[in-house]
Amino acid sequence: MDLNLLWFILIVILYVGYFFLEGFDFGVGILLPFLAKNDTERRAVINTIGPHWDGNEVWLITAGGATFAAFPHWYATLFSGFYPAFFLLLIALILRNISLEFRSKDNSPKWRALWDWATFIGSLLAALLLGVAFANLAKGVPVNADWVYTGTLWTLLNPYGLIGGISAIASFALIGAIFLSLKTSGPLAERAQNTARKLWPVVAVVLLVLLVATFFYTDLTSQAGGLAVVAPVLSFIALLGAGYFLNRSKPGRAFVLTGVHIALAVISCFWIMFPRVIISSTDAAYSLDIYNAASGAYTLKVMTIVALIFVPVVLLYQGWTYWVFRKRISSKPEELVY
């Protein structure tokens, strides 16, 4: 078995899980100040993600740890070169996380409004930065012969990177609205479903722009004999299917297809990169791939054994938590935790 390929696939799966699960968390945070009309509804919105948001972030931590252990040169180039962007991402995640915990510590309307907007800003900024980072990974970044990133934060804020960031915000807001329509009840659920219907055409246009831009800014058509085109096209088709079911008041199916769209978008990024893990825009010879960036064979073997033992445990536990908290959230204040 090619353990280098196996670990590349496992890292892709971890990022897919993170973008899907944290995607609707971020979407809920982005919509929080606008969708809920009073404090009780805002509490209900926060309660939809309250039991899960911290567990969902484990996927990102695990993806970073797996990258460090399996592909240390990839980790070194990525985390040193993208350090300012990741530092801002960390600030955004901290802001979002403490806002969810601090909001309920005081009943003052001003206090709660402050943390509601902090949730919005943290969620929006995190979604933007993740989209920018992954778009640049697909596009390629300036890396020299020593595998050192030679650009700046502003290098990442190129047109394609910003389109990727806006697309992430749009997709997360859409799946967040659909998630709220499934997890809340009464007027709040109806408002969430109407918001999802209004958001969908906007998201479709943004994603179409990203799809077209991908053909010009990346080497998509030359990867895997041109088969790399399949994933982004299917991603857009899944989004169209989500819109179809939204307009027929079937939010469950729309949620699944929006999740498929997000998963395929992440897969598209890695498929464009493969077998590279960092594409050098300076010189193709300076790119890192799953072989020259990898750890030794013994390290990969040990990691594979550990993963085979613990990954199923983590998946079962997280699946169990979603099953336990599967019911719709009531808008009765006495039944709300956050």
Tell me, what CATH number does 316's domain have? 1.20.1630.10
pLDDT above 80 (res 192): yes
- Looking at residues 41-55, what average pLDDT do you find? 85
- Looking at residues 322-333, what average pLDDT do you find? 77
Which region among 118-127, 282-291, 324-333 has the lowest average model confidence (pLDDT)?
Answer: 324-333
- Looking at residues 251-266, what average pLDDT do you find? 95
Give the pLDDT score at 225: 58
Give the pLDDT score at 291: 93
Which region among 42-56, 130-144, 279-293 has the lowest average model confidence (pLDDT)?
Answer: 42-56
- Looking at residues 158-166, what average pLDDT do you find? 95
Tell if the pTM clears 0.95, that is, is over it.
Answer: no
- Looking at residues 54-83, what average pLDDT do you find? 90
- Looking at residues 51-60, what average pLDDT do you find? 84
Model confidence over 266-318: pLDDT tens digits? Answer: 999 999 999 999 999 999 899 999 999 999 889 999 999 988 888 888 888 88
- What six digits make up the tokens of 302? 């040990």
Could you give the CA distance from residue 178 to residue 251 in angstroms, rounded to a whole number? 6
Q: What percent of the chain has pLDDT over 70?
A: 96
Domain with 56, as residue range(s), is 3-140+148-335
Number of domains in the chain: 1
